[in-house]
Amino acid sequence: MSRQASAADVFHAIADAGRRAMLDRLAAEDASVGALAEHAGLSYSAASQQLNVLRRAGLVKSRVRGRQRIYRLHPARLRVVHDWSVRYARFWRASLRRLHNLLDQPENT
C-alpha cells in the first residue's frame, strides 16, 4: 500500500463519529466489541463492521480472551493526522494574532 493510500485509510477511518467514539474509549482502556458498541451507541454488528475499518487502517489491534475479542488502540497510525493538522497551527496563531491586534486598536469614532 502506498503511503498516500495508507494515510487516506486513516483519515477515512476517523471521519465517522462512531469510530471516533470507539477510539476515544480505547484511548482510556482496552475493550470488547460489546463495550465499544454500547459506548458508541451501535449494534454489535455495526460495531464489528466499524472495528474492521479501524483495524484495516491500522488504528486498532485485537486479541482473543476466552470467547471475546478485546481491542486496543494502536495510536502510531494517528501520527499522519497529527502531522497534517499541525501545519494549520501557524495559520490559527497568525489569525488569532491579527484578531487580537484588531481588537486592541482604539475605536475611530
- Structural domain includes residue 72: yes
- Structural domain includes residue 74: yes
Identify the pLDDT of residue 4. Answer: 56
Identify the pLDDT of residue 107. Answer: 75
- Structural domain includes residue 38: yes
Number of domains within the chain: 1
Q: What percent of the chain has pLDDT above 90?
A: 67
Give the closest residue to 82 by CA, choosing from 59, 101, 65, 100: 59
Q: Between the CA of residue 101 and those of 16, 23, 106, what are the distances in Å?
A: 38, 39, 10
Domain containing 74 equals 3-104
- Structural domain includes residue 23: yes
What size, in residues, is the chain? Answer: 109
Across the range 62-73, mean pLDDT stands at 95
CATH number at residue 49: 1.10.10.10
Note the pLDDT tens digit of each residue in 36-52.
Answer: 999 999 999 999 999 99
- Structural domain includes residue 69: yes
Identify the pLDDT of residue 1. Answer: 53
- Structural domain includes residue 109: no
Q: What pTM, to 2 d.p., does this model score? A: 0.77
